[in-house]
Amino acid sequence: MQSLIPSPLTNGLIDSLPLQDRAPFLADCETIDLTFGAVITEPGGKILHVYFPLDCFISLIASLSDSERLEVAMIGSEGMYGMPLILGLEESPLRALVQGAGQALRMPVADFGGHLEQRTALQVLLKRYLYVQMHQLGRVAACTHFHQVEARLARWLLMTQDRAHSDRLHLTHEFLAMMLGVRRAGITLAAMALQGRRLISYQRGDITVLDRAGLIEAACGCYTDDRSIYRRVITEGSAPAGTS
């Protein structure tokens, strides 16, 4: 399996820091276990820590009501939770839910603020990551409106596979329906279609990715676009158009 970040016990943002900044930054982090379903922050709640997932992943969910929820971003070992802090805000606009259990590096907000003030490379890197998140949030809005459920489900499974670092995923139809903002029946039909094409197998909430290349073809172009923007702006360090 080809994952967004090859090693499950690393974080792409921290790995992108210069060596002289990375060691003192890591010294102020603690490694913690995050459990599936744990809520890190509710909308409007105060952000107390920043999180750098290692082999876990976090969903950012927009809620209009208890029954109207939509995942708008997924953060795994490629990223960080706590981006409002970059803008000088400690309030979360979205619900942060642990979707995949595992380990993360955690740092108190006060320590993070100190590093952010002192380390220019960290400022530049996280501004780039903020740009990536803005780009991806815009794609999610357009994708949800214009793309068919089957293609969106394929994209979401690929995103989850990247961050879970596994071909096997435990996901119920009810959970998938909430994440994608569609009815359960729509998820059932889309999953059956992908299974009929032998791209996945699905049984009692257990999904196995059988053909990753085929699943990429079945997904909307948003999946490859998200990977491309991350690679260009973060991994390769190319400035976004219109910036210096």
Helices (H) and strands (E) in the chain, counts: 9, 10
CATH for the stretch 12-145: 2.60.120.10
Per-residue pLDDT of the chain (244 residues; tens, 9 = 90+): 334 434 457 899 999 999 999 999 999 999 999 999 999 999 999 999 999 999 999 999 998 887 788 999 999 999 999 999 999 999 999 999 999 999 999 999 999 999 999 999 999 999 999 999 999 999 999 999 899 999 999 999 999 999 988 999 988 888 888 889 899 899 999 999 999 999 999 987 899 999 999 999 999 999 999 999 999 999 888 656 554 4
**Could you tell me the residue ranges of all domains in the chain?**
12-145, 148-218
CATH match for 148-218 among 3.40.630.30, 1.10.10.10, 3.40.50.10490, 3.30.420.40: 1.10.10.10
Q: Please state the pTM of the whole predicted model.
A: 0.89
